[in-house]
Chains A and B, each alone.
Chain A
Amino acid sequence: MATLWPSIEPLLDGVSKPARYIGGEQGATVPVHGEGKVAWLVIYPDTYEIGLPNQGLQILYELLNERPDALAERSYAPWLDMEAAMRAAGVPLFSVENHLAARDFDVFAFNLSAELVYTNVVNLIDLAGVPIHAAARTADDPLVVAGGHCTFNPEPLADFVDAFVLGDGEEVVGEMNEVVRDWLATGAGRSRPALLEAFASLEGVYVPSLYGVTYDGPRLTSVTPRTPQVPERVVKRTIADLAEWPYPKRQLVPLTEVVHDRLNVEVFRGCTRGCRFCQAGMITRPVRERPATQVRAMIRSGLERTGYDEVALTSLSTADFSSIEDTVAAVVGGGCGDQRVSVSLPSLRVDAFTVTTATQIAHARRTGLTFAPEGGTWRMRRVINKLITEEDLYGAVDAAFSNGWRRVKLYFLIGLPTERDEDVLGIAALARRCVEIGRRHHRAPTVVASVGGFVPKAHTPFQWFGQDSASELRRKINLLKDACRGARGVSLRWHDPEASVAEGLASRGDRRMGAVIERVWRAGGTFQEWSECFDLGRWEEALAAEGLSFEEIAHRERSGDEVLPWDHLSAGLHKDFLWGDWQDALAQVSVEDCRWTPCYDCGACTDAGLEHVVASTTPPAGGSQGTGQDLSAGGRVPVHLVSAPGDR
């Protein structure tokens, strides 16, 4: 096992951003390999600057390196120029700590935060010199496992990945390590199937090769265990108490610029706002808060250790954290160290109360504030259960502009269930109205309306919905463009509808998508999250070659009795709860947050014997529904709250 650094170093003079490949982050562990230690390579299948800050990956990295019987190094997808240089020089995928070849590790653990990275997963397995198909690997090949939100429909990657982990990884990673350790100790002659069966006996671990799939024509008819030893239904893992897991304790501080380059402290996990489009909110229930004293301690030690001057309090809706005011006050009031520190809340609730709290401590960097009303009309917002009234929004926007912000950014989805053109046009009307409100306070306020095409996700009430086609999304964007024409102060931005459609294939496809992903990869389609690399044509050709269609996988509305590709997996939510919520959506009936209203038995707590862990039983002041945006998707501009220069 020798470092590849002497072969890697000469390549770095000729590639963009070479610091992506050198490691050396503060907080990194450079482990010593040896007998009795399972060697994990944790891999983020996108660029270093996107992957490095990923908190889930950092938590597992630390937990593994704390164990005497494990070690972990990291790897990221090399950018196109570096991959070409590596392949030309015969350099395989490598770790950034010891710069070892990926093949020197026992386990590859991928983090799957977005569906469009799937072709990168295949590419990285190949770049590692490992057979891409799980079925072709032998006992001498590394195991390929994956975790992260996308594993709630893992079927499109079933051909390539040996085992998927559903839910929180903190506990199960240790159990998996023990299984691999014992298996490695059995020495020569050990069999891979024995290991996979041992994996499948762990709660929350899904081994796709142990399940058989049947079809009837284009339709999936069943996914069932091949052997009686594996469960018919794999249920996600949930850690009951976040306080037991104050990780990362040593957040990585990169040497080069990355996204979210700041201290990140997770204040709670889970969300029960009940936004029907939001997979993150549905699959991470129930709400588990971190005790405020622990949050403060993590901020204090984190700032001291890293030298950062900014901390983000992360969760799916941080304004709902029951100790939010005290925590923010402590940070900017110097209670977490004596430095000038700014706070950012990656998700703001849409109400004036939140803005006022924000403003009390924000005296600088007041450039832009972001809200996510998601739907253009009240009717639409009731369908998606994002219960923000126009008064809430206008109140928040008025508060923002009157407190000195000059730019407000609004996030919307189009292509939602039951959507009519008037709902789409409502987006333009809201944006225009917000500019008018801004004019009361400034000469030239700006309102950015950012519009994304909705992609239905597994384990949400919208999992049955027929996604809009790219041309329909494009038509709606054009409607909006016309409606915003000549509207001073309104700036419209939109996400590529074709990328939304490809994401839809990967998010709700079944095992047959594996061959499509492989074809797209073979045709050179990596980095599909990146607009300069994305080409829908490759997906169209691959689908056609496999006899599949967008219509069948993405655009068709599914019926209630249809077998869904993820029915054998559970995020804790009862299917009849989801179906009922889907029917409610169609009838424009909303549901309330179960933190503060009686439980409606979605299954997340009741089946797992869990309860919400919330410090306060009263809903936060301001009352309105929250944003619930999917942080794992990234790209949503966080709000900065900064203390005044004199404020210490």
Chain B
Amino acid sequence: MAERLRFRFTKLGKIRFTSQRDVARMWERALRRSGLEIALSQGFNPRPLLAFGLALPTGAESLAEYLDATLVGSAPVELVELADSLSSLLPEGLAVSGVGVLPDAAGSLQQEVTSCTWELEVLGVTATELARRVGRLLDAPSVSVRRERKGRIFDDDLRPSVRSLGLLDPAQGANTVRGQSTWLGAETATQPRGVRPRELVEALGTEVVLARARRTQQWIEHDGARHEPLEASARVADVTAPHAIERAS
């Protein structure tokens, strides 16, 4: 029986500058080395059946990326071992923090993920000024951003996708080579349209500069409650990768 596995993994440190495609190739190589047999697509040039959820912008970090893999057979019994071995085969900065066997009925990440939580380190204005601008953005009925799609430029309203936005603990800020930073927390919805961290920060004014974005959670919402994407799994192994952050940065 072909089962599907859902992996949760981090992307931290220098590796944040690789693209989504790069990460896909790293996973393909690591899976080949692990010996876990992944089913192949049909057709002229068969590819392993791997589905990554929401794209993470190049340059952003994440504590919660997901990958669904369709296996040739059934899932291994020792999920913790599998997670650990994959972490050791993946490059520094990528580490598996959870894995679960998906029920047949589970939809794809692309369809199901409804929102995600971000931590954003910004520079350019004081914390007080930043708080004022955040308040103004939240009060505004609409916030337009300029976007390019298929070579055409038009304006989108990002306000409906901003679920929450606020300053995090000031102690988290740091004195960087470019000045004092402040951290923001945000939850953004994937519908009607996703919001890139950079767009959100730009909407706070031109002097505000995004120094680092870190996705901390992704959520699947149904029946009015938020669920972590691994919750749907029948069998889950939570592997905390305690040193992942320190190791990678």
Contact = CB atoms under 8 A, between A and B. Distances in A.
Interface of A: 5-7, 10, 12-13, 18-19, 21-24, 26, 253, 255-257, 304-309, 339, 364-365, 645
B26 interface: yes
Contact of A18 (B26, B29, B40, B58): B58
B19 interface: yes
A253 B93 CA distance: 15
A7 B177 contact: yes
Contact of A24 (B33, B93, B178): B93
Interface string B71-109: 000000000000000000101110000000000000000
B132 interface: no
Contacts of B33: 304-307
Contacts of A304: 33
B91 A12 contact: no
Given A19-B17, A22-B14, A10 B45 contact: no
B17 A308 contact: no
Contacts of B227: none
B163 interface: no
B14 A10 contact: no
A525 to B, nearest CB: 29
Interface string B26-45: 10111111000000100011
Which size class do B's interface residues fall under?
Answer: 20 to 34
Contact of B40 (A10, A22, A253, A645): A645
A26 B14 CA distance: 14
A19 B210 CA distance: 19
A492 B91 CA distance: 43
Given A253-B29, A645-B46, A10 B211 contact: yes
Contacts of A365: 44-45
A364 B45 contact: yes
B22 interface: yes
Contacts of B211: 10
A23 B14 contact: yes
B15 interface: yes
A18 to B, nearest CB: 4
A10 B17 CA distance: 11
B46 A255 contact: no
A255 B32 contact: no
Contacts of A21: 17
Contacts of B126: none
B160 interface: no
B59 A339 contact: no
B21 interface: yes
A288 B126 CA distance: 67
B22 A256 contact: yes
A22 B15 contact: yes
Contact of B18 (A255, A339, A364): A255
Given A22-B14, A23-B14, A24-B93, A307 B21 contact: no
